[in-house]
Amino acid sequence: MDFAIDVDGLVVRRGGRTVLHGISTQIPAGSITGLLGPSGSGKTTLMRAIVGVQKVAGGQVTVLGKPAGDPALRQSVGYLTQAPSVYADLTVRENARYFASLYPGITSADADQAIVDVGLGDAANQLVSTLSGGQFSRASLACTLLSKPKLLVLDEPTVGQDPVLRDELWKKFHDLAAAGATILVSSHVMDEAGRCERLIMIREGEIIADDTPAAVRAKTGTDDLENAFLTLIREKVAA
Amino acid sequence: MNGRRLFNTTGRVLGQLRHDKRTLAMIIVVPALLLTLIYYVFNHNRFIFNHVGLIMLGIFPFVLMFLITSIAMLRERTSGTLERLLTTPIGKMDLLFGYALAFGLVAAVQAGVLTAVAYWAFGITIAGSVWLVVLIAVADAILGMALGLLCSAFARTEFQAVQFMPAVVFPQLFLCGLFAARDTMQPVLGAIAKVLPMTYAVEGLEQIGANVTPTAIMWRDFGIVIGAAVVALALGAATLRRRTD
């Protein structure tokens, strides 16, 4: 199988504390993988290591065949930070067009399309500082999608969005994956887990499940992924 | 370096200022008002105003650009936009020179307005060319910008960032020869003044004020100011880390 991401024995220490304890996982190309776990479990740190912005203490991360953070990857990896990272004192369109201009071959039309894709077509000329919280994070998402990356690393992209929009965003992610993109999306909401093709469940810097949602359900004997997660934690604690 | 990324960064920074009309107005108006204040402080003493006013044409752009850049860069860091930028193909030099060009253009307008006010409203007497005054003032602004950018890397909060202004700017102001001639200072201070870039900014302006044609010392001073700005920008680039804790 072709892997878009290969994490091998990744160790990350932050502020004297070990955040990731030698994690290993492989993420197939063209898939949607959910990264699930409670707040503080190491989801963001793992994503940052994959994008190549995290200092690592050990292990290897290979992304699209290159070491994570390789300059050649900057065009093909799109990263959505958990806190929206766009300029509050620019309009949505100005933000998108600026970020589009940083990528070779990406045009203003791509920027405008990404704005429509995240449902901000009507707010394109609005200053980001005047947007609602949900719109603010979608403006940030638009700036990640516009470069048409081969790998999308999305840190909680659907938090605070209304259910209809959340559904539309997930459809968009599936469209992108169908077109060949690999998507790694984190969430602490278990009801989103069912929308992923694969799940990586992480707790206190260790992977406690790495499988398809169906396999996780079967293994734990429950249909509810929230309960499945609990069962896995209890098994781990008991072991 | 990549022209498209650099110029689009310049456009983006100017766009941010365009949406913040009050800041833009203050950049242009505040130095002119301060110069007016100085003119009336030295009421009827044309000799002192010709000296102090001329030096202020270089100092105001330096101080303002230092403050604006250190806050702008701190905002890039705290809002996460810097981290996002560093995951895109943009080069650090595209980003830094994009900023330098944007603030350099704003500084040119600021210095132009300030010099025009000094010249026409207050009849400041300068032996040399007014254009050279603007040139040195813009160089001072770029130096302020480069130092502000460097200092912002050492500030975690806005409270810290604004305090770098007195910490970095005031000593240069005290030692540059404005308050006391450098050769009359305690000798250690006189020696320190020789390695502070603002000393040369002020000396360059004094050279224009006293000489009809540009002097070799003035060009040397201009070179030192620009050189110090480039060194500060390069050090600033080193503080932009793609990989962080």
- Domain range summary for chain A, segments of one domain joined by +: 3-76+150-238, 83-148
| B5: chain A residues, CB-CB within 8 Å | 101-102
pLDDT at residue A1 is higher than 60: no
pLDDT in tens, A25-75: 999 999 999 999 888 899 999 999 999 999 999 999 999 999 999 999 999
Which of A84, A102, A127 shows the shortest C-beta gap to B19?
A127
| A91: chain B residues, CB-CB within 8 Å | 19
pTM for the full model? 0.90
The pLDDT assigned to A227 comes to 87
Phi, psi of A154 (to 5 degrees): -115, 115
pLDDT in tens, B12-27: 999 999 999 999 999 9
Q: CA distances (Å), A89 to each of A59, A143, B13, B150, B245, in order?
A: 40, 15, 10, 23, 28
The pLDDT assigned to A202 comes to 93
- Complex confidence, ipTM: 0.90
What's the average model confidence in pLDDT over B111-128?
92
- Asked if residue A193 lies in contact with residue A223, where contact means CB atoms within 8 angstroms, the answer is no
A88 close to B (CB below 8 A): yes
pLDDT in tens, B96-110: 899 989 998 998 999
| B243: chain A residues, CB-CB within 8 Å | 52-55, 69
What's the average model confidence in pLDDT over B198-209?
94
The most confident of the ranges A214-218, B46-50, B214-218 is: B214-218
- Asked if residue A75 lies in contact with residue B89, where contact means CB atoms within 8 angstroms, the answer is yes
| A102: chain B residues, CB-CB within 8 Å | 5, 8, 85, 88-90
The pLDDT assigned to A239 comes to 74
Shortest CA distance from A147: residue in chain B: B88
For domain A3-76+150-238, say whether CATH 3.30.70.100 is its number.
no
Give percent above pLDDT 70 in chain B: 100
Shortest CA distance from A146: residue in chain B: B88
The pLDDT assigned to A230 comes to 85
pLDDT in tens, A120-139: 999 999 999 999 999 999 99
What DSSP state is assigned to residue A210?
E
| B83: chain A residues, CB-CB within 8 Å | 53, 81, 85
Question: What's the mean pLDDT when you consider all of chain A?
Answer: 93
Closest residue by Cα to residue A41 from A226, A235, A202: A202
Which string of DSSP letters, residue by residue, matches chain B?
--HHHHHHHHHHHHHHHHT-HHHHHHHHHHHHHHHHHHHHHTTT-HHHHHHHHHHHHHHHHHHHHHHHHHHHHHHHHHTSHHHHHHHSS--HHHHHHHHHHHHHHHHHHHHHHHHHIIIIIS----SS-HHHHHHHHHHHHHHHHHHHHHHHTT-SSHHHHHHHIIIIIHHHHHHTTSSS-GGGS-HHHHHHHTT-HHHHHHHHHHHHHH-SS--HHHHHHHHHHHHHHHHHHHHHHHT--SSB-
The pLDDT assigned to B35 comes to 93
Of the pLDDT bands very low, low, confident and very high (cuts 50, 70, 90), residue B220 is: very high
Query: What is the least distance, in Å, from the CA of A89 to any CA of chain B?
Result: 6
Which of B16, B83, B89 shows the shortest C-beta gap to A74?
B89
pLDDT at residue A237 is higher than 70: yes
Closest residue by Cα to residue B88 from A26, A53, A239: A53
- Distance in angstroms (rounded) separating the CA atoms of residues A79 and A61: 16
Which of A14, A15, A53 shows the shortest C-beta gap to B83?
A53
The pLDDT assigned to A224 comes to 85
Which of the pair, B156 or A177, is modelled with greater confidence? A177
Q: Tally C-beta pairs within 8 A across A and B.
A: 76
The pLDDT assigned to A148 comes to 94
Q: Using the beta-carbon criterion (under 8 Å), do B244 and A55 form an inter-chain contact?
A: yes
Q: Using the beta-carbon criterion (under 8 Å), do A69 and B88 form an inter-chain contact?
A: no
Of the pLDDT bands very low, low, confident and very high (cuts 50, 70, 90), residue A222 is: confident
pLDDT in tens, B132-176: 999 999 999 999 999 998 998 888 888 898 899 899 989 999 999
Tokens of A182: 């690999």
pLDDT at residue A90 is higher than 80: yes
The pLDDT assigned to B242 comes to 87
Question: What's the mean pLDDT when you consider all of chain B?
Answer: 92
Q: Name residue A14's beta-bridge partners.
A: A17
Query: What is the least distance, in Å, from the CA of A63 to any CA of chain B?
Result: 14
pLDDT at residue A191 is higher than 80: no
pLDDT in tens, A3-16: 999 999 999 999 88
A17 close to B (CB below 8 A): no
Of the pLDDT bands very low, low, confident and very high (cuts 50, 70, 90), residue A228 is: confident
Residue A160 amino acid letter: G
User: Radius of gyration of chain B from Cα atoms?
Assistant: 18
Q: Is A5 helix (H, G, I), strand (E, B) or coil?
A: strand
pLDDT at residue A190 is higher than 60: yes
